[in-house]
Chain A
Amino acid sequence: MPMGPVKYIPPAIERYVRLGYEPYRYYLGDEPPPWTPLKKPLSECRLGVIATAGTYVKGQVAFYYKDDHSYRAIPKSTPAEDLRFSHVTEHYLGSALQDPNSAFPIEPLRRIERDGIVGEVAEELFSCMGGIYSQRKVRDELAPALAAEFARQEVDAVLLVPM
């Protein structure tokens, strides 16, 4: 009998309480899912991307590990071998350090563009730290800044790639 999906939230809460920390407070969606139907065929849409594995390009400043709520703009043409990762839970980066496309799918995105699955992928993809403990910083600062970037790019949809 196959096991179901791993539950991550209860073990994390239990683990950190056991270590003497305040209970780990995951974000709980407090509203129904937002919903905006596509206004045109997918093959005509411009796709924005935000991934949360702490991806940066060689030459950019890396992320730090205490509530870094900055983000990086990663040119779509970046070679995968120039992608780097800095994330507070380094033990989840094993695959990305071998092949960045496991956590930041830049080559698959270029391929869905080339194959016409989407009209185009935005010229810059975005990346941030996944382990931000301040929900306020995310909700009040990071999310609006990213929303403004996506508005500037005039994307029709955004793909979220959490780690």
Chain B
Amino acid sequence: MGTAYDILETCKPPLAVFLDYPLGNTSGRPFAPDEQYAIVRSAVETLEGIREPGTILPLNRIWSEDETWKVEAAVTDTGDRRQPRDLTPRYQNEDDRVAAEGQSARFG
């Protein structure tokens, strides 16, 4: 599965479905269970339906008629949009940190 066509092209997975949605929505919009199901099902069904290695099958869905998000996704004159890179686990919630105390990562 993937929402970045040029990255799918360069990574060369055996098979892919391409969803023309903003990054972060690989399996569909939030709170759209039927859409999410259809997207995941389409991806899995390529395993049986596609025989050509390297096929990238576009899914026929659009995020919105307004494509401003595509213009914004490709801008280059922003600051660094990544978070600072260090070795501190970044919990989504402070409660998660408390819940995880004493645990360790499986690997790494």
Contacts and interface: CB of A to CB of B under 8 A. Distances in A.
Interface of A: 2-3, 5-9, 11, 14-16, 18-19, 26-29, 31-38, 41-42, 45, 47, 51, 53, 56, 58-73, 84-86, 88-99, 101-105, 107-109, 111-112, 117-118, 131, 141-142, 145, 157, 159-163
Contact of A105 (B36, B76, B90, B107): B36
A104 B72 CA distance: 24
Interface residues of B, number: 73
Contacts of A157: 44, 47
Given A66-B86, A72-B106, A101-B28, A60 B53 contact: no
B47 A2 contact: no
Given A28-B10, A93-B24, A161-B1, A71 B53 contact: no
A61 B1 contact: no
Given A15-B76, A64-B90, A112-B44, A37 B51 contact: yes
A66 B53 CA distance: 34
Interface in B54-101: 54, 62, 67, 70, 73-93, 95-97, 99-100
Nearest to B12: A29
Given A68-B108, A117-B44, A27 B10 contact: yes
Given A7-B6, A33-B54, A105-B36, A15 B78 contact: yes
A159 B43 contact: yes
27 contacts: A8-B4, A11-B76, A15-B76, A29-B10, A29-B12, A32-B53, A32-B54, A35-B14, A45-B47, A58-B99, A59-B103, A61-B104, A64-B88, A64-B89, A66-B85, A68-B108, A69-B108, A84-B92, A84-B93, A86-B90, A102-B28, A102-B30, A103-B24, A105-B39, A108-B28, A117-B44, A161-B27
